[in-house]
Amino acid sequence: MRIDSRKNNEIRELKITNNYLMSAEGSVLIEMGNTKVICTASVEESTAKHLKGTGQGWITAEYGMLPRSTATRKTRDASRGKIDGRSMEIQRLIGRSLRSVVDMKKLGERTIWIDCDVIQADGGTRTASITGAFVAMIEAMKWMKEQGMINEIPVTGFVSAISVGIVEEESMLDLCYQEDSRAQVDMNVVMTDKGEYIEVQGTGEESPFTAADLTELLALAAEGCRQLNQAQKAITGDI
């Protein structure tokens, strides 16, 4: 039995609260178990420097953990004067994941800024950020359409992400922190609602893993992402 009494193929309790903040064009609070992330999407009337004059837009992300999102206080990036390597890696992953399903030409020369702020961390913060950020992005695009900036929602599919791993020789879906910290194999999977892979990050933390292990973990991830896509679609509606 797992720490929170889930079966190995069950995701944590999921809750996505839409329109969480009053100012942002798109915003959600996503809760997966005890992990909580505020995701916002802000529209800027200019594109990235390397795309100026091309008619194409851009989507980029920033990610951070609030000082007491963890058991001990985490120093703010501003206090250190630089972004730590982990945060940089995660925000690049979020940006890549969202851009992979957006037609940048239909977006026009605009930027959608995604901000993911972890207010409570219990494992899976990067995957929760991607899942929540997609919903926030869609809400921002709906706002853009209402304002006449775009003619349609320029996405080709839904994006969600989930963690999987091998803990004490058992394959598990959606690891909490205590499970993740003991995992022999740790993996994050980003997928579309069509079953396509955007990114697979897998590491043998304590030992190598086999092709059979990989197949089993990917099957678990696909089922988890399917459930996440259902929750996303329930909020965003037909796009």
Domain contains 24: yes
Domain contains 2: no
Q: What is the mean pLDDT of the chain?
A: 95
Domain contains 133: yes
Model-level pTM? Answer: 0.96
Which residue range forms the structural domain that includes residue 175? 14-236
Tokens of 71: 């058991």
Number of domains into which the chain is organized: 1
**CATH number of the CATH domain containing 227:** 3.30.230.70
Pair 139, 114: CB distance under 8 Å: no
C-alpha span between 98 and 91 (Å, rounded)? 11
pLDDT in tens, 81-121: 888 888 999 999 999 999 999 999 999 999 999 999 999 99
Q: Is the pLDDT of residue 233 over 90?
A: yes
pLDDT at position 82: 80
Position with higher pLDDT, 205 vs 219? 219
Query: Taking Cα atoms as reference points, which of 78, 76, 40, 82 lies closest to residue 60?
Result: 40
The annotated binding site for phosphate is made up of: 86, 124-126
Residue with tokens 């990114």: 199
Q: Is the pLDDT of residue 1 over 90?
A: no
Q: Is the pLDDT of residue 3 over 80?
A: yes
Cβ count near 144 (within 10 Å)? 23
Q: Is the pLDDT of residue 238 over 80?
A: no
pLDDT in tens, 141-198: 999 999 999 999 999 999 999 999 999 999 999 999 999 999 999 999 999 999 999 9
Domain contains 5: no
Domain contains 9: no
Q: Is the pLDDT of residue 123 over 90?
A: yes
CA distances from 1 to 66, 156, 162, 207, 227 (A): 31, 39, 20, 23, 22
pLDDT in tens, 44-88: 999 999 999 999 999 999 999 999 999 999 888 878 888 888 899
DSSP code of 98?
H
pLDDT above 90 covers a percentage of the chain that reads 90
Which is it for strands 111-120 and 58-65: parallel, antiparallel or unpaired?
parallel
- What is the separation of C-alpha 148 from the centre of its chain, rounded to a whole number of angstroms? 28
Dihedral sign (CA 72, 14, 6, 11): negative
Domain contains 6: no
Q: Is the pLDDT of residue 130 over 90?
A: yes
Domain contains 4: no
The annotated binding site is made up of: 86, 124-126
pLDDT at position 175: 97
